[in-house]
Each structure stands twice: as C-alpha cells, then as structure tokens.
Amino acid sequence: MAELPNIENLYSTLKSLRVVRHCFSNFLDSLSEGSKCDKEDGNETANQKSLNNLRMHVRELEQNIHNLTSSSINPPGGPNVMSNIDVLSLDPSPDKLNLYHQLLDCYTWIDKVSSYSGMVHSICSGSYLKRSSMPAIRKRHVPIIYDANVVPQTVDIHIQNIKSRFPDMTLNVVRPLGSNAVLQVTLGRVLKAVVFFRGLLIEGVVVRAYNEPHTDEDGKVDLYRPSQYKVFQKVTDNANAAMLHFFTPGSVDITVRSFFTWLNSFSNLFTEVCKKCNYHVRHNYPPTWREFRTLQAFHEECRP
Ligand SMILES: [Zn+2]
C-alpha cells in the first residue's frame, strides 16, 4: 500500500510556493517602477533587494519540494499506453461521450469503405469497357488481328464478296483520305449510305434518302452531313448501334458480312409491317429498327 504524503511537508511546500509568488510579484512591481530605483541610496537598490529575496525563497521552495517527493509522493510509473480516443472515452461529460461513440462509428465506416473499395477495384480491373471481347480472346490465346492495319487490296476483296452476296446493293469504293476506303452504298431505290472504314474496321455510317447525294457541293464524298429526313436519321443511329454490336475483333469476315446483311434488310423499309403491331406507320415512322439476329422489323416503340 502506498504511503500517505506527509501533510506537514505538503503544507510547508504550498506555503513556500505562495511566498515565492508574492516575492515575484514584488520584484515585477519594483521593475516597473524603475525611476524610483535611481533615487535609492546605499549599496543595494530596491530591485536587487527584491531579487535576492526571491532567490532565497525559491531555494526554500526547492528544498521543501525535495523533502516532499523523497519522502512520500512517487510519480506514476509505466508508460502511458492510452490513446487519445481512450482518454476521450474516460471523459465523464455526457456530450463528449456521445462524440466518442460517433468517432468509433466513423472509424468503422472508413474501414468498411476501404475494404469494399479494394473488392471493387479487383472486380473492375478484370473487366474492360471496350468495343470488344478482347480479354476473353486473350485467355484463349487466340492471336488478335489488328483490322485497322491491312492493305487496301484486302479491303477490296472483302467488298467484292459483299457485292456478290447482295445483288440489290450497289457499292462504290473511293479513297478520299488516303488508303482508308469509303464505301458509297445504294440499296435498291430505298436509301443511300456512306460507310467509312479504317482498314477493315467500320468507323461510322451515315444513312440518307435515295434522292440525297453522296457528295457535297464540291463533288467530294460527304462523310458527316446527316440526312434531312427524320426517318433516315433514325436509321443512321440504328446503323451505328449495329456497327458496334457486330464488331468482333479477329473475325473480319463476320463483322463486315453481319453488318451488311443487317443493312440490306432495310430494302423493305417502307413496305414491311412491324412484327409487333402489324402497322406500317406508327407516330409517322415506318419500322426503322431491325433485330440483329432475326432481322425482323419493328417500330422504335415496339422494339422487344
Ligand atoms: Zn410497331
């Protein structure tokens, strides 16, 4: 059991402390009245007297503190292992105790966020938001053919195949931008389209009406001007969606053939009824959508 502190020593120490504080106040007062010191006669000035007095009482205080600590009071032993949050939990004030629980909840929440973000990162790093299924192909160790880097002769061969496959379709190849082909397509007497390639990769499609020219005022093939008719603007949007849908890296034949098969199905754009509602016209539009697999016609609103 720890020994109780000597009350007498404690009392005398506190008394010495009070005296020191009093002497120190006197010393500061005498310093602030410096002009009075100059008039002081004798060997010692008032400042020196106060300072000597203070020194004496400080020594006395030190002696009392030494007696007190050596006899009874032991400093607390061992390192302080409590963290700041533990100290906060010991605070008896009810409003601060609430703060302690909120802080614990916050730490738990941050731990969960860190854990979940690590899981999401591992999931997302395994999927690629690209126009292709390249990761799956890489897993099967199938070499990827970079369809954009092919010679123009290869592109011409594929276009010839399309020509022979779809007799209703008239194809005219031009190369206004170097080696990359631009295909001017005329489908029956229904529509015209401009399909531009980068190598064998279809980069974009613009569909226009049969009476709209492929070329602009300067006689150059027009790659970007949309049709003035809403019907063909919708078909253009759907054709670009089909272009992305049919894109299969490493299978150039399938990509090009599938897309032109789908585009060829618009030969009955104004004659085919919608497979769902059996009407030709709905909201002033013919069936402008063709299913990718079955090529069945649907209105935009009737799409399955
Ligand atoms: Zn319909």
Spacing, Cα 80 to ligand 1 middle (Å): 79
Q: Which span out of 88-92, 138-142, 175-179, 191-195 was modeled with the highest average pLDDT?
A: 191-195
Q: Which has the closest alpha carbon to 157: 168, 143, 171, 144?
A: 171
* Average pLDDT value over all residues in the chain: 81
Q: Residue 275 CB: number of other CB atoms within 10 A?
A: 17
Spacing, Cα 285 to ligand 1 middle (Å): 9
Q: Give 260's contacts (C-beta < 8 A, 6+ positions apart).
A: 162, 165, 166, 169
Indicate the range of 37-51, 170-184, 262-276 predicted with least confidence. 37-51
The pair phi, psi for residue 226, each rounded to 5°, is -75, 165
Indicate the range of 16-20, 131-135, 217-221, 238-242 predicted with least confidence. 131-135
Q: What is the pLDDT of residue 206?
A: 95
Q: What is the pLDDT of residue 139?
A: 46
Indicate the pTM of the whole model: 0.53
How far is 263 from 295, CA to CA, in rounded Å?
9
Spacing, Cα 190 to ligand 1 middle (Å): 20
End-to-end CA distance of the chain: 87
Q: What is the pLDDT of residue 63?
A: 85
Spacing, Cα 284 to ligand 1 middle (Å): 11
What is the per-residue pLDDT across 50-74, written as a single tens digit (0 to 9) for each?
888 888 888 888 888 888 777 655 5
Q: What is the pLDDT of residue 5?
A: 56
**What are the tokens at 129?**
């938001």
Spacing, Cα 242 to ligand 1 middle (Å): 20
What is the per-residue pLDDT across 133-146, written as a single tens digit (0 to 9) for each?
444 444 444 455 55
Q: What is the pLDDT of residue 302?
A: 93
For the cut 60, the answer to whether the pLDDT of residue 20 exceeds it is yes
Q: What is the pLDDT of residue 230?
A: 94
What is the per-residue pLDDT across 194-214, written as a single tens digit (0 to 9) for each?
999 888 889 899 999 999 998
How far is 119 from 125, CA to CA, in rounded Å?
10
Mean pLDDT of 285-302: 94
Q: What is the pLDDT of residue 148?
A: 64
Spacing, Cα 205 to ligand 1 middle (Å): 25
Q: What is the pLDDT of residue 233?
A: 95
Mean pLDDT of 3-8: 64
